[in-house]
Each structure stands twice: as structure tokens, then as C-alpha cells.
Structure 1
């Protein structure tokens, strides 16, 4: 089976290849991302549009991810990329630093589209928001702590073992194997 992963990120394609028993190819397509608080809805809509744009017989997968801070009602959630670009991680840390409960989660929804079928799969990694630490990773990694270590302090291999995207891809792999 061949799958098209709609992304410009080579790392996501490598991660998908690790989880899926399929030939995963990168499909560089800029679908219109709807504004929604629901990652699965965003990914599903992107997968439908991308499948149509691909025009072939191969199914497509699209992912959408975000950092969800519990006591901020899930903010920044699906708007994480925009918030990182506009406010930055330091400001998000300042917003969270006075919260009684700084629990958070990285969440991901992967949508699979094959003709009329669209299925979504979700993964999450629990943690908490802390003052920025570490030099690795990207995005909110320096302020997201899981088991005493920020994502920015972890090796890439360790972070990938915990991956919210990996957890969603694992569910997709199980579903594909059962089909």
C-alpha cells in the first residue's frame, strides 16, 4: 500500500514510515486549514481536500497537532503554531506560570482519506508547563515537561518514543491492519 502524507516536514514522513506498514510518500500541498477548536475536524477537512487535489488512487494522511494547557481551557490548542509565532514560548510560559494547575498535553489528530472514507485517530502525551529549559527540539518543547524532563532536554529518539503523533499513527496502523 502507498500513502501520501500531506506535509512539508520530512521528519513527519520518517515518523510515519516507522509506524505504518506502507510506502509513505510526501505530498506537498497547502490545503485550506479551517479554524476550529477540534484537531480531528481540522485534519479531516484537510485530508478530504488533499485527497481530491492528489487526484490519484492513493489515500492521503494529514495531521494537526497542538499544545493544550488545561487551566487555560486548552489554549493554545489548534492555534499553537500561530501563538508560537505571535506570542512566543516565553509569553505562553508567563501566562501559565501563575496557574494553580499547569497540566497540559501535546495532542495530535491524524486523518486518513481514501475516496469517500475519512477516519481520524488521536494521540496525546500528558505533561505540564514549566519555565523554559533545554536546547533541543522546537516550538513549545522547552516549556513542556513529561516525567521530569522537557521535550527540549530529551534526545530526538526519546521524544519520538513518546510522540503524540506516533500514538495517533499507531492507531492508524492498527486500523489499516484490520481492514
Structure 2
């Protein structure tokens, strides 16, 4: 059984659209979210910690909105910026008036089951000693040598005036092919979302694991 580490049941439902029925379950585990300029080390560190907690295969994701004009901000800090600055203010900063800004939603899935991985086009994070040192872990080499497989999903779009009442987070200001994520139904959004694209890559690989 694969444990999807999240407090958001919607993410598990989205994963179930790609994985076989009954093969994934939700794990509510508060892993350490390190500070990093990219998503990969955050997800990888969380997957290692979650695997040590669960003792079973785990999947952890980290995602963010990357605005070209703002040099990728808010990126890995998207959730914090949403809570403190607010979605509409981020949109105003990005647009600079009526001029839309190019942006991308990115998601990185991190998978860990305690075993090594064969080489493939998808990257493998083989150790997070720097991250472990940053949070002061003293769990030894076994804690930082667990290999983690990473899968990225990206969807390009632009930042616009808020539209739509669905979705959550930055969905009202992120437009993809003329429609904001908040204007899409869940099925339509999942079909093009960054998380869905990462899940598609993961499930294709996981089928042969």
C-alpha cells in the first residue's frame, strides 16, 4: 500500500485517478519542511522522514507558483506568501498594472520505499546531508542515505485578474489557455494540472516497481 503524505484528501482523490483502486491511502504526518530555494530538496527530505515514520512506501509532494517577472517568487514559499501577503496582492505585484505576467505551477513528487532505484530519466536524490544538518538531525547515515525518486510536473500560464469561484490558493489568478484554474471543474483542472502531470509520470514508472 502506498501512503500519500498529506492533510488534503483532494490530493489523494487525484492520485486515485492515476493509480489502481485501493493501492493508495492518505497518511497524515507532519514532516519537517526545510527552507530551500527549490522544491526538490524539500520533497525529498519529507519523503525520507515520512518513510522512517511509516516503514512503508510513501509519496510526498511539494508545489509552488513560479512567476517569471518575480524571478520565480513565491516558488517554494507559495503557501507562506499566500497566508501572509495574499493571493490578490501577489497577482498585483506580478501583473504590474494590466499587463499579465508569465508564470508556471510546478509540482515535485518524491517517492521513497527504502530500496535503491535503477537509473532512468527521472532524477534520484541519493542523500540530504546538508538538509539533515540544517534541521539538526542526529539519526545517522541511514537517515540521510535513503534514495528518493523525484517526478516533476509543470503547467505554464499567466497571472491575470482573479476569475472564478472554484479551486483554492492561487487558482483564481492563474490562467491556462484562456481559463483560470478557478474557472475549471476539478476534472478539467486535474487533466492539465502540475500535480496531475507529475502523477502521470510517477504512475507510469511505479507500474514496473
TM-score by length of 1: 0.94
**8 Å Cα contact 2:100-2:159 kept in structure 1:** no
Structure 1, gaps ≥5 residues long: none
Matching residue within 164, 169, 177 for 1:139: 169
* Higher normalized strand content (fraction of residues): 1
- Pairwise CA RMSD of aligned residues? 1.4
Matching residue within 74, 90, 93 for 1:76: 74
Residue 17 of structure 2: aligned partner: 18
Residue 47 of structure 1: aligned partner: 47
**Following TM superposition, by how much is the alpha carbon of 1:137 offset from its aligned partner in structure 2, in angstroms?**
1.0
Residue 88 of structure 1: aligned partner: 86
Task: Please identify runs of 4+ aligned residues in structure 1 that moved more than 3 A.
Answer: none
**8 Å Cα contact 1:89-1:140 kept in structure 2:** yes
**Following TM superposition, by how much is the alpha carbon of 1:101 offset from its aligned partner in structure 2, in angstroms?**
6.6
**Following TM superposition, by how much is the alpha carbon of 1:93 offset from its aligned partner in structure 2, in angstroms?**
1.2
Alignment length (residue pairs): 176
TM-score by length of 2: 0.81
Residue 29 of structure 1: aligned partner: 29
State which structure, 1 or 2, has the greater radius of gyration over its C-alpha atoms.
Answer: 2
Instruction: State how far apart, in whole Å, the 2-side matches of 1:37 and 1:130 are.
Output: 25
Residue 109 of structure 2: aligned partner: 110
Structure 2, gaps ≥5 residues long: 115-145
Residue 119 of structure 1: aligned partner: 149
**8 Å Cα contact 2:172-2:180 kept in structure 1:** yes
